Amino acid sequence: MAAIPYLLGFQPRESIVALVFQANRLITSVRFPIEMGDAPGQLARRIATIDRQFPDADWILAGYSSDRERAVTVIERMSTVIGPTRVLESVYANDGRFWSLSCTVPDCCPPQGRLIDFERSPVAARAVLAGMQVLDSRSDLDASIRPPRGWLGRAAMQRIEDARASIRGMELNEIEQSFTGLVQQGLDNPEAVDPTQAAQMAVMAFYPSARDQALRLLSRPHAQRHVELWRAVAKMTPRDSQPPVLGLLGLAAWVNGDGALQVVCIERAEKVAPHHPLIALLGEINAAAAPPCLWDDLRADLFGEES
């Protein structure tokens, strides 16, 4: 229970969180909006997609809601679809406490619930040391990649126009080389990326062959750096120019195990460019609950031995 907010990147509310395990190892964590329980068919299809990916997996289900009855009802529906013998544990959580839905021993699970003690939890301590953070809500996660507005937005759009003008006469290989240089420089120090560089990267990211250069550099051990870089670029990029940046950020988030940020990138980009190839790929990855380790195979397929 202490780990779940760190796995998502934010404190869940009105949600059902599923932790999927194989051989006692956490493979993936998935958040379901609690209102999905009002559409049993959609909920069953979503679970079936995950189940096809991990047919022998065990599950832990945690329901977060101010309405206990509603959360318990959704958990019961999910347990029926998954198969009760494969649900290791199910819990209800609210206001910093949780209740097991399977344990009835008062000394273990008292009627008033058990406190989720983040301060003393060794799991939370390890998460903090690993650089993981917990935002107060999912809306805060969305705000972390919100494009500039007002006069800042107008200034960002002008920088985009200037960047387009500056690369208009460049050959494609020059664009690729320049983009690769900017990405490598940004990965060295994401905080040092300035608005002009961000605009150049956002414009060059519209070229598929340039984006490939960034994907070649993306690996699981260094995925956090890519997340930091593309998040910084996204925050300096106007809304209409964000989709390829959000695609690169979403892929980096997935490879880094940050599914919540991945979904936020998808949702924001779909409002502007729903058919962008990177966003479509992210959607397929999310629908299948594909584990980050799959990137090793995808990267090899995309770039062959060069990866």
Using the 8-state DSSP alphabet, how is residue 120 labeled? T
pLDDT (0 to 100) of residue 198: 96
Measured distance CA(75)–CA(92) in Å, rounded? 9
Q: How open is the CA angle 67-43-289, to the nearest 5 degrees?
A: 110
Measured distance CA(104)–CA(111) in Å, rounded? 9
pLDDT tens sequence for the chain (307 residues): 988 988 888 889 999 999 999 888 888 888 899 999 889 898 999 899 888 888 889 999 999 999 999 999 999 999 999 998 999 999 999 999 999 998 878 888 888 889 988 778 888 788 777 767 777 777 787 888 899 999 999 999 999 999 999 999 899 999 999 999 999 999 999 999 999 999 999 999 999 999 999 999 999 889 999 999 999 999 999 999 999 999 999 999 999 888 888 888 998 998 888 888 889 888 888 877 788 888 888 888 878 754 4
Q: How open is the CA angle 128-134-140, to the nearest 5 degrees?
A: 150
Measured distance CA(19)–CA(17) in Å, rounded? 7
pLDDT (0 to 100) of residue 307: 44
Q: How open is the CA angle 289-268-290, to the nearest 5 degrees?
A: 10
pTM of the model: 0.74
pLDDT (0 to 100) of residue 292: 86
Element housing 15 (H / E): strand 15-22
pLDDT (0 to 100) of residue 296: 87
Domains within the chain, CATH numbers bracketed:
4-136 (3.40.140), 144-306 (no CATH)
